[in-house]
Homo-oligomer: A and B are copies of this chain.
Amino acid sequence: MKIDAIDAFYLAMPKVTEEADGSQDALVMRVRAGRHTGWGECEASPLTSIAALVAPMSHGACRGVGQVVLGERLDDPVDIARIAARLRFECMDLLQAAHTFSGIEAALWDLLGKARSEPVWRLLGSQQNFGKSPYASQLFGDTPQETLERGRSAAAAGYRAMKFGWGPFGKGDLAADIDQLMAAREGIGPDATLLVDAGQIFGEDVGEAARRLPALEAAGALWLEEPFAGHALAAHAALAAASSKVGLAGGEAAHNEMMARNLIDFGHVRFIQIDCGRIGGIGPAFAVASHAAREGVTYVNHTYTSHLALSASLQPYAGLGDHRLAEYPVTPKALAHELTVQHIDRDANGEIWAPAGVGLGIEVNRQSLANYLVETEIRVAGKTVYRTPALD
């Protein structure tokens, strides 16, 4: 097959707020090759990623993503790797390219799975599909009491693992954070898994992060996520060396496989969290999962948007039976929920699974696309280089 078309759809809620909720807008990619259509989602700024798709060439190593991918052959998983390798050189100086390509790459896997009547995890070579234990991801409350209540609700909803993050954590004094952590533990109960997300609040300040370790240990937190900026390897390594019980988690900002491996090899995280909508798609995420498994590090998806993105993010480690935690978007915005016909619901054991259907196993709901579509047009030197495509 030849890749004939790449269409980008910018969706948004009628009102986008400042809350740290990435499901308020979406960039969905539709790829066509031969008789088949694949879909994928970028976890990225839609307008900027569209510009990176159609950008005029600046020089040989800085081209629009579409220019590199359109017209390429797609018959086998090695074709996807070959296209990604071409992109690494021809879009070397286009920073946003990884975010743009992430959704396209997932769509290529979806398309190839449909053409071969196989789920993507099988195309990746996984022999078996293992269920994952979803954790409910939520913000710390403004007060410890609110946090406690959110923990209780998640426990009542049947979650056995809960993550609290952002909000006031790390912004006030140590005592306030201790109160929050104890409230979180009290809310979820003594047996549930507690995960804490610092949202990069400590920058590179190892001392401030390390002061929270005793309280994190006392609350029985399994991990401390993103204490520092995603590139702060030395800070991660220093905090990892200071922490025996609480593991560091990170990786959502990784926009290529190497950046994620660096967090493992040099930052010494114990949990590597990959968003297939940012790292360049499913292929590099699979490579990170393999590296993590070799190094004794636990792979976890990062997903805060639709179940199209969730399916993509489960594929890379569906075959890893020892890597069982999964981030599960519990209260995404309406557009993220309505974007797909199918949903990945928890089964009777409370587990979620990469779909058994062909490709990503998730159909896009065309009517919902239409409902949330943001009409966009880009003109360069008198020519329209992008206009919101027709929904068929």
Contact = CB atoms under 8 A, between A and B. Distances in A.
Interface of A: 10, 12, 16-22, 24-25, 43-48, 50-52, 54-62, 64, 88-89, 92-96, 98-99, 200, 203-204, 229, 231-234, 253, 255-256, 258-259, 261-262, 265-266, 278, 374-382, 385
5 contacts: A18-B60, A20-B60, A43-B93, A47-B385, A50-B51
Total identical chains: 2
A56 B47 contact: yes
10 nearest A-B pairs in the assembled complex, by CB-CB distance: A51-B51, A231-B258, A18-B60, A96-B96, A47-B55, A48-B51, A377-B379, A48-B52, A45-B55, A266-B266
Nearest to A260: B231
B58 A19 contact: no
A389 to B, nearest CB: 15
Contacts of A17: 59-60
B57 A18 contact: yes
B259 A231 contact: yes
A43 B93 CA distance: 9
A53 B261 CA distance: 30
A234 B261 contact: yes
Nearest to A256: B231
A318 to B, nearest CB: 26
A16 B58 CA distance: 7
A200 B92 contact: yes
A379 B387 CA distance: 9
Nearest to A258: B231
A376 B18 CA distance: 29
A376 to B, nearest CB: 5
A179 B261 CA distance: 36
Nearest to A92: B200
Contacts of A20: 59-61
Contact of A58 (B46, B259, B380, B382): B46
Contacts of A50: 51
Contact of A48 (B96, B232, B259): B96
B204 A258 contact: yes
A44 B88 contact: no
B233 A44 contact: no
A240 to B, nearest CB: 14
A243 B266 CA distance: 21
Given A22-B62, A44-B95, A204-B258, 19 more contacts: A16-B56, A18-B60, A20-B60, A21-B59, A43-B93, A44-B93, A45-B95, A47-B51, A47-B55, A48-B51, A48-B94, A48-B96, A93-B278, A95-B95, A95-B99, A95-B255, A234-B262, A262-B266, A376-B378
